Homo-oligomer: A and B are copies of this chain.
Amino acid sequence: MSYLSNCWYMAAWADEVENGGLLARKLLDQPIVLFRDEQGELGALYDRCPHRFAPLSKGQVANGGLTCGYHGLAFDRNGTCAHNPHGPILRNLSVRQYPVVEAHRAIWIWMGDPALAEPGSIRDLSFLVSAPETAFSKGYLHGQGHYLLYVDNILDLTHVDYLHATTLGSGAFTRTRAQVSETDGHIRVRRDCLNEIPSPLMRSIRGITEADRVDYWNTVEWSAPAVMTLSGANVPAGEARDGPHNNMNTMNVHIMTPETSRTTHYFFASTRDFAVDDAAFNARFAETRNNIFSTEDEPMIQAQQQRMGDADFWDLQPQLLRIDEPSVRVRRKLAQMIKAEAEREQTCHQVEQSAGAPER
């Protein structure tokens, strides 16, 4: 399956690129250089000088653009050559630029047709910005698996009961059937786990035992290409969800961007509405999460990818279960969107040709 092009991919956390700095990152198999000028304005270019193919990321940010470190050609953020110390600026001395936007603590890039890039279509994740620093933490994982394996991981939280049995799992996700729905292209997976065994982590935070019972709610919401929110809430069993003991709401993001067909940039962040001023708790919370992702999820997904090799997911004939419903819907939706893109491109091409436009 190829990638969806005309959508915003998260390229980096905003603070990964400082003013006057740059970041080389491969996205959807393409080498990209992200950079900021001294005023903080962002740019994104194909990371290869058109002259002799040195990566522009091995150069410097200067005059609002990038200067190649090998022979000194400079390009502005539109990819136009702004300076050639060795002669005139020829028309072909340009490099592909990508629309890039900073929003919600992240840098978003548009890998498709720039004419279609609409910053307003970036998903609203403003809760990441409004959260106090002591109730916010984020991370990045360079995943060694196809990005949809990471998406599957979040869409099917029953894995928590097995892979994270000592921290997040109590069997509740397995016992509670997920409700899957779709609104405006967002696929939502909701679980209401009522009168359930608290997870080890919940017990530790609430100071309760395995014998106590809790009600908890959990909703994952996916939108294309792979931007997911995960909200969780819990109360002692039977209490009102909006009552005084619902003091354990978390709101998280899990965002995956393909690096290659077998590797993923996995960005995640958490906010919460309890212990919001507790920096030490915040740090422990982040450490626990990072530890779970890197020592439990990541090795499992790597191992899955190794067993799948370069085969297509469907060609391997997965024996799907009820719990795969969200994952299958997301994969189908993405496939439809990718197909629609290809058809649209085909149509544009035909229109151009019949209008006598030069072939691309």
Contact = CB atoms under 8 A, between A and B. Distances in A.
Copies in the complex: 3
A318 B70 CA distance: 14
Given A71-B159, A71-B323, A86-B174, 10 more contacts: A53-B304, A54-B307, A58-B300, A69-B162, A70-B162, A71-B162, A72-B162, A85-B174, A86-B322, A90-B319
A304 B54 contact: yes
Contacts of A21: none
A47 interface: yes
A69 B297 CA distance: 11
Nearest to A158: B71
A321 B68 contact: no
A320 B51 CA distance: 6
Contact of A55 (B67, B163, B303): B303
A176 to B, nearest CB: 11
B300 A48 contact: no
Interface of A: 31, 47-48, 50-55, 58, 67-72, 84-87, 90, 92-93, 152, 156, 158-159, 161-163, 174, 299-300, 303-304, 306-308, 316, 318-324
A304 B174 contact: no
Contacts of A306: 55
Contacts of A318: 50-53
A64 to B, nearest CB: 19
A84 B319 CA distance: 12
A161 B67 CA distance: 13
12 contacts: A48-B307, A52-B304, A52-B324, A54-B307, A55-B303, A67-B162, A69-B163, A70-B300, A71-B158, A71-B162, A72-B162, A72-B174
Contacts of A322: 86-87
Select the residue from A69, A90, A324 with max chain B CB neighbours within 10 A: A69
Contacts of A320: 51
A49 to B, nearest CB: 8
